[in-house]
């Protein structure tokens, strides 16, 4: 499982051209599910994300976690995080999970976040989405469960 985690001061999402949700300070998580992923990867990834200390304390040091700042979360499915561009100029997505595997794992990850975070907004799997965000920091972190 792969995640691109961005600290934001605010974000919103439009699904199929319709406003769908907004968050304040917190994370926008673009989440990719790999063909070999299982619930254990979702759990390990969420635990890492939820405990990351990337928010500034009173002294300006990145010592605070999402829970410490009572942050919000937006989770957007993003199979393109598994793009393979080794051959030619057209990306291959064969390493991404097929929808019948990816959707339940995406939903499992969302449920883990909802258990810990008061305000979670999600995208819609397979839909055309526009994500608008104000990157705070900027602070963007790439996580891959193969490397955690």
Going 18 to 117 to 115 to 144, the CA torsion angle's sign is: positive
Catalytic residue from among 6, 41, 55, 79: 79
Are 66 and 73 within 8 A, CB to CB? yes
Q: Is 109 a catalytic residue?
A: no
Q: Which of 29, 32, 16 is nearest to 113 (CA)?
A: 29
Are 54 and 60 within 8 A, CB to CB? no
Catalytic residue from among 78, 109, 122, 145: 78
Q: Is 79 a catalytic residue?
A: yes
Q: Is 78 a catalytic residue?
A: yes
The residues annotated with a catalytic role in the active site are 78-80
């Amino acid at each position: 499982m792969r995640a691109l985690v961005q600290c934001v001061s605010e974000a919103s999402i439009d699904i199929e051209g319709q406003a769908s949700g907004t968050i304040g300070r917190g994370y926008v998580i673009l989440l990719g599910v790999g063909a070999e992923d299982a619930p254990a990867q979702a759990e390990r990834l969420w635990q890492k994300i939820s405990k990351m200390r990337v928010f500034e304390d009173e002294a300006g040091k990145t010592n605070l976690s999402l829970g410490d700042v009572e942050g919000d979360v937006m989770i957007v499915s993003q199979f393109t995080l598994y793009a393979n561009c080794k051959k030619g100029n057209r990306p291959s997505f064969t390493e991404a999970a097929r929808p019948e595997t990816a959707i339940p794992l995406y939903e499992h990850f969302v449920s883990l976040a909802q258990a810990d975070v008061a305000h979670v907004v999600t995208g819609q799997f397979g839909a055309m989405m526009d994500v608008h965000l104000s990157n705070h920091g900027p602070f963007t972190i790439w996580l891959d469960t193969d490397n955690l």
